[in-house]
Amino acid sequence: MCAVDTTAAADWRALGCAVRLVVTDPRRLDRCRVQLEQLLEAVDAACSRFRPDSELVGLDQAEGRPVPVSPLLAGALAAALRAAELTGGDVDPTVGTAMEALGYDRDFELVERQGRPALLLVRPVPGWRQVRLDRSAGTVAVPPGVRLDLGATAKAWAADRAATALAAEAGCGVLVSLGGDTAVAGPAPEGGWRIRVQDATGDVAASAAGPHALIAVRDGGLATSGTSARRWRRGGRQLHHLLDPRTGLPAESPWRTVSVAAASCLDANTASTAAVVRGAAAPAWLSALGLPSRLVSTGGAVRSVAGWPAEAEAAA
């Protein structure tokens, strides 16, 4: 997803994904960019499972003991555990070991796209209830052998946090998109934030490939989860990064992407990720929650539910 026709914008890469910052007051862009870069570096240092010096990786050596964590990591963990609870475990942060077994054990840009065959075992992940986070004490305990992966929620949580903080300090409207997880705060531009929704985050100036929609957002967040962008092979099997916690393997879903609008980017991302995992049951679930959603089947058919503007759909 990418915002279009905005007042002032900057694009770069961080957290292994495309970053887009847009502000309604061009004079605030440079300062907001510096602050966002600092926040994303702090999030990476706390939450990355690919940095040997990150706080998250440091939990592997704790051997189940409660250890102090920074407020930043505690907040990210709380967001991940909340997502797990709200989705009945469909979005579970204890998928780290399973993800590594599939070959996703480094920044995705470095993952071997055509690797040797891997032994793919059906094995449920340990489960989010085994993670003990004590926010009042500032500690977390993770059982030995359980590795966490906050990739399903951390970027959306960071986007919400950044947009809110930057809008408050800059006194203008702010859009923050991290790999397509988009949060907005402050006064929106006239007509709202215009956003193109598509299968994969792309260059705002480039023509969209495949089905896409152009919508306007005034507040909250928007997120797209899918199996199209982060794919690789092990032997002859195509793999992707959205795992079904019940099997520890890539979810077998009829949807290649699901986009959701919600009161926050974190809620939107939680729902879109869970929808891919839930498969055929997703449209009814999203409708019951009242979350405007756009689901694209593996064959390219588009389905809109819960008030998503079907008229926003554009031709390929």
What's the token pair of residue 86?
């709200």
Kindly list the distances between the CA atom of residue 46 and the CA atoms of 15, 135, 302, in Å, as whole numbers in the listed order.
11, 16, 37
CA separation for the pair 255, 160 (Å, rounded): 26
Q: For residue 182, what are its two tokens?
A: 């988009």
**What pLDDT tens digit does each residue of the chain (316 aa) get?**
444 445 899 999 999 899 999 999 999 999 999 999 999 999 999 999 999 999 999 998 888 899 999 999 999 999 999 999 999 999 999 999 988 888 777 777 776 777 777 777 788 999 999 999 999 999 999 999 899 999 989 999 999 999 999 999 999 999 999 998 999 999 999 999 999 998 766 555 555 666 788 999 999 999 999 988 787 777 777 777 889 999 998 999 999 999 999 999 999 999 999 999 999 999 999 999 999 999 999 999 999 999 999 888 875 4
List C-alpha distances in Å: 189 to 24, 148, 185, 212: 7, 38, 11, 22
Please calculate the CA angle 15-282-218 and round it to the nearest 5 degrees.
55
Number of residues in the chain: 316
pTM of the model: 0.91
Structural contact between residues 221 and 79, judged by C-beta atoms closer than 8 angstroms: no
